[in-house]
Amino acid sequence: MAPRIENLPLSSRRGSSHCQLSTFATRDVDDVRGFLDTDKAWETINRDWKPHPNATAAMQSPSSATLWNVLGSLKPLLLWPKSCRISGAGDGSGSANGTDAGDDGQPEKTTQLRPTAYLDGLRGFAAFLVYWHHHELWAHPLEQHDILESGFGHDDKHYFVAYPFIRNFFGGGHFAVSTFFVISGYVLSSKPLSLIHAGEQAKLADNLGSALFRRWMRLYIPIICTTFIYMTLLQLFNPWMENVTLQSNYRDELWHWYAEFKNFSFIFNTSGELGMSYNFHLWSIPVEFRGSIVVYTALLAMARCTRNARLLLHVVLVYYLLYIADGSHFAMFAAGMLLCDLDLLAAKDELPSFLARLEPYKTIIYYHFLVISLYLGGVPSHTADVKDLAPNRGWYLLSYLKPQAVFDYKWFYLFWAAVLLVASTPRISWLKRFFETRFCQYLGRISYSLYLVHGPILWTIGERIYTAVGFAKKEQLKNIPGWVNRFPLSMAGPFGCEVAFFLPHLIQLPLTLYCAELVTRAFDEPSVKFPQWLYKRTVAKQVRLPA
């Protein structure tokens, strides 16, 4: 019998999985433009930096040389945060959403934050919201999930965590996923669009070919590594896990893991929904790969269009995916592509005249966009039936806006929420500065790994910690009674903000971030560098024909 997720409730199996990072769009960014390369430095140090002479002498003295060498050798094992980096020595690390460094893999040239570093921070903060949302759902019993996923006052339930705007910080995983998809479309298209603007058609073909060649490996190599290790540890320690059944031996487990991954990684599979029982949060990765293909194909198709024709085709594509076809996920990618095109045009003062005339009013426009975004981002989503949306306070009239083509209504509202958020963030200075802080930049660097590891840690270690502090449910009482109320904590506080819920994160959050850092260095960053190396090894040398 294969390891599987048996009879998982919608909120735990699919609803919570929708809170994933879409992990993940590739980052094909123009190093020359300094646009969105993926080195996530907290600080930069100039190449001509030299240590203080006294410090140099101390390191070279016989009494300290051995200690210095030992500490240096231990640093990779201790996984000290990458708090500094020498300018120009970019590591080519991958971003959280599976984006790459520059296509040519060249080192970063700038010593300052990139103009679009705020997108890294936004993605990192969104990854943290996914982590928090899943912990809220997992710690609290199934019958209380509708509190987080219904509107404030629905069925006469008035909870602080369900209040508009505030709800995004406790149940904002769906909003985070949509934001990732829009960021993905933006980042994937930044370098190709810059080449289109410059009329570099030959370089554009090389860029898109390289990006598509590397994309699958960029997304799936970290998944292969993390799920294989997780599968092996499950067989080795055989812990009890809710709704999970393991194979009787490692050989059968290994075969099942291979069979699942084989089907999961083929995005044109028509046999049903793609997922892996070893990490059911990974549903968004096939969406990422498909969305990448949408972006690359659209850019190639529009490469020779005029500015106005290209912008019009962007809008038509978004409209088709959102209002005619049930393709709201891919509409987010297409909208990110449109935002990137507009930003590149704005940087050159080449926006269409009707948009340029709005420049004097941009502050008030983008503040309104932000407020609308944060409201729509908290769309109640306990079910997929739009009839259940109307009874929620503040959503009756909005429920009539859903297009007929959209099956799961929440993605329509989240489309607009994510697009308006990404559009408004760089135009609101305090918000942009927040996402450029070191902590948000760090979260952005590890966010793909955070997405990959937070679920397995929650289902194994987190399950037992929550059981120990007082969140035991029927299955825990039956299967891990030794953990029940071992370290009981107070349940004081509003729902979702209980003392017993917050304090365990003093253990769980550092552990999860540590594991995410480990995975980033061991698998995520190599998954950027290896495809770049392989592509260079396989590309034929260009032969110039005589004129």
Instruction: List pLDDT tens digits, range 169-220.
Output: 999 999 999 999 999 999 999 999 999 999 999 999 999 999 999 999 999 9
Residue-wise pLDDT for 164-177, tens only, equals 999 999 999 999 99
What are 166's two structure tokens?
A: 């505030």
- DSSP single-letter state for residue 5: B
The two three-digit tokens of residue 99, written as one number: 């984006």
Q: Which of 184, 160, 192 has the alpha carbon at shortest distance from 284?
A: 184
To the nearest 10 degrees (0 to 180), the angle between helices 284-301 and 173-198 is: 20
Domain spans of the chain, in order of start:
10-43+95-342+418-538
Please compute the mean of the pLDDT values over residues 521-543 and round it to a whole number.
91
Beta partners for residue 45, in sequence order: 86
Residue 244: strand, helix, or coil: strand
Question: Does the structure show a pLDDT above 50 at 75?
Answer: no
Q: Mapping DSSP to helix (H, G, I), strand (E, B) and coil, where does residue 175 land?
A: helix
pLDDT at position 77 is: 43
- The total of other beta-carbon atoms located within 10 Å of residue 174's CB is 29
Instruction: Give dist(CA 223, CA 138) in Å, integer.
Output: 22
Q: Which two tokens stand for residue 393?
A: 């306070």
CA 358/CA 345 separation, integer angstroms: 15
Q: What is the pLDDT of residues 337-384, one digit of tens each?
A: 999 999 999 999 999 999 999 999 999 999 999 999 999 999 999 888
Does the pLDDT value for residue 89 go beyond 50? no
Spell out the residues 6+ positions from residue 128 whose beta carbon is closer than 8 angstroms to its own. 443, 450
Question: Cα(478)–Cα(467) distance, rounded to whole angstroms?
Answer: 12
Q: Read off φ and ψ for residue 434, nearest 5 degrees.
A: -60, -45
User: How does pLDDT run across 122-165, given as a tens digit for each residue?
Assistant: 999 999 999 999 999 999 998 888 898 999 987 888 899 999 99
What pLDDT sits at residue 269? 82
Alpha carbon distance 146, 151 (integer Å) = 9
Contact by Cβ (8 Å): 282, 264: yes
pLDDT score of 153: 84
- Whole-number pLDDT of residue 25: 41
Number of H helices, E strands in the chain: 22, 2
The average confidence (pLDDT) of the chain is: 84
For residue 44, the cross-strand partners are 85
